[in-house]
Each structure stands twice: as structure tokens, then as C-alpha cells.
Amino acid sequence: MSELLIHKGYVPGSLGRIVELHGSYYHERWGFGLFFESRIARELSEFLGRYDETRDGFWTAAVDGRVEGTITIDGVDADGEGAHLRWFIVSDALRSKGVGNELLEAAVDFCRGRGYRKIYLNTFKGLEAARHLYEKAGFRLVYERNGSQWGTMVIEQRFEYSLGDRK
């Protein structure tokens, strides 16, 4: 493998590549379509438009300048509902090479450093490799329910990580 670089902050072209990674992966494996991909593009664009490095975290994993993984912390409601972990994906080229662990660790460390009390993420049942990473990092499944927020019926899941009270 060529040199892997984990970069914090926006990298030109990363928005399109992140949408591509999500659109391709979830279409090939889960049959998600335009609704899902356009939602990723819209919500990620909105997030990046209000990105505040003192509150939010945005990391990409790149090989030879090509984004192959990403994770985001949306801290806009960190004092309320919690810091929202979003857009976590690693391409097939980097999967099972520890990059997901590195990205997740960076996101949790960022939240800990900001004094956030809780991190949460929304996903769906069946993403077992991701669930393994979440649980290994300390996230716990807090509920499951049928839902269609991704444009198709799935068993939606919410995971949370309690970081405790601010110091």
C-alpha cells in the first residue's frame, strides 16, 4: 500500500469523493439509490458550509491524494443531544487495514478533548464490521426500530458513547 495520510479538516474534492464512496457502497450492498446518495450530498454540503473547527471534526484518509475513508463529528448540539458521528466509511481498498479504527479513535479523542459528554450515531442493522468497530471503541446500542430514513425499510439503530461529565 502506498503512503496513507489521515488529514483533519476539509480537503478539496473530498465532498464529492465521500458522496461517491457512500453511494457506491450502499447501492452495491444494500440497494440504496438516488434518495440516499442525494441525502448524503445535501447533508454533508450543509455541514461543511457551517463547519467550525473549534466544534466540529472532519477527517479523511487518503492514499496518494485520493480520499479512501472519512469520519465526521458534528458538534452543533454537543451540549444537548450529543456530538453526532457521521459519514464514517472506508473504501474496499483500505477496509480491514486498521484505518477505520484510526479514524474512529481520532473522532472519539476529538470529542474527549472538547469535553463532550456523549457521542451518538445512527446506522442500521446488518453493518456488522462497523458495529464491531463501534462496540470495540465503547459505543453501546441503545435502540433499534423499523424505519426508512435511508430511503428503504431497514432496522435503524442508534449507538451512543458516554464520555462522562465535563471536567
**Which pLDDT value is given to residue 166?**
46
**Which pLDDT value is given to residue 92?**
85
pLDDT, tens digit only, all 167 positions of the chain: 578 889 999 999 999 999 999 999 999 998 999 999 999 999 999 999 999 999 999 999 999 889 999 999 999 999 999 999 999 999 988 887 889 999 999 999 999 999 999 999 999 888 888 899 999 999 999 998 887 766 677 888 999 999 975 44
The CATH class of 4-162 is alpha beta
The DSSP secondary-structure symbol of 151 reads S
Burial readout 69-84 (b: 16 or more C-beta within 10 A, e: otherwise) = bbbbbbbeebeeebbb
Q: How do the residues of the chain divide into helix, strand and coil, expressed in percent and rounded to 5?
A: 35, 30, 35
Helix runs in the chain, H state only: 14-30, 34-49, 99-114, 128-137
**Which pLDDT value is given to residue 90?**
93
- DSSP three-state, residue 104: helix
Give me the phi and psi of 55, to 5 degrees please.
Answer: -120, -35
Burial readout 146-159 (b: 16 or more C-beta within 10 A, e: otherwise) = eeeebbeebebbeb
